[in-house]
Amino acid sequence: MDFQLDDDQREFKALLRSFVDKEIVPVAREWEQAGRYPTEIVDGMKAMGLFGITVPEEYGGLDLDPVSFALVFEEIARGWMGVAGILGSHSLACRLIAMHGTEEQKQAYLPELATGVRRSGIGLTEPDAGTDLQGIRTTARLDGDEYVVNGAKMWITNARYANPLPVLVKTDPTATPAHRGMSVLLIEAGTPGYEVTKDIPKLGYKGTESCEISLTDVRVPVSQLVGGVEGRGMQQVLSALEWGRVNIAARSVGIAQRAHEEALAYAQQRKAFGQPIADFQAIQLKLGELGTQVQAARLMAYWAADAVRRGRADGATGMAKIFCSEVALQAAIDAMKVHGGYGYSTEFEVERLYRDSILMSIGEGTNDILRTVVAKSLIKGETRVG
């Protein structure tokens, strides 16, 4: 049993930490408050090859193992969680195409997706369907050698940059159960009837856009059906979302780590009654608990990532996403309490960490829904405790 990163992973983490400290940390608060898109940071991630972390090497990607994949999101979220979102949805789309696309689809898209020349996201959520993906209403009717797509998608990260965007649709709306009639289509930007209608204002998770998309009689060639076979869309999406839960767990660890760092530094710098507040037992109790929870979350995230490496891991990734996201929120709250009144000020980092942490318990499936996923995995014996 080894709880340490290997040499390559440690070197990779150090490289990521250096990039974040130099290129993200100094500008994150200012750019987030200004609503400025982080173009220069995106260019830096392109230069590091991070847009290819889930792309196989034969198509020009890094093809990272799941633990190294988690390191990317932990470190970038430590600097600015919204920027991690730019990579998150893109990486899931790449993973989906790499795992399930036809060879023609892989050749057409993966090399440019790996470099960031093309970017992507994943079109799942709708105004009336979030965690319950079988409830989507977007349809794709076959007409000759094209599908005619009608519907709407919501909360789509990278929507204004995605080309192509994998979109979950119902190719057979009458199928029972519903997932047997669901497929994924790769829709290219600029296709008539495909329109990004607006950016959705958000409490946090800024730096990347979250958009509504309208699909009105969008004609998509049959060749854009992922895998070339109808009815496999739900399975394709769920296999990608397994990595997505590792992504969210790792982002949560990054938020919690930064909250810990900010609280620890402030407690040693801020003085009250003639001494640093770190000398007071009440503050020490918070710092001790915060540090313990951050490290526990980190180990949970890495354990889940390693479970993905070994095979299907719904239960493990669900556990990690639940635990890590709740640690992130509590860490942000505790860091704000250590800062006192300054924690409520937008001049300090912890205010942004708090706003970003709230999304972690909602994204990639709400925590309560994931608790039922974990429970079913335990009942079936697919996941074991102890």
What residues are labeled active site? 364
DSSP 84-124: HHHHHHHHHHHHHHHHHS-HHHHHHHHHHHHHTSSB---B-
Omega prior to 164 cis, within 30 of 0: yes
Peptide bond before residue 166 is cis, with ω within 30 degrees of 0? no
Side-chain-side CA neighbours of residue 152 (13 Å): 11
Place of tokens 């329109």: 195
Q: What is the chain's percent helix, strand, coil content, to nearest 5?
A: 60, 15, 25
Q: Name the 3-class secondary structure at 182.
A: strand
Token pair of 57 as six digits: 């090497």
Sign of CA dihedral 355, 208, 202, 156: negative
Q: Quickly count helices (H) and strands (E) in the chain.
A: 11, 8
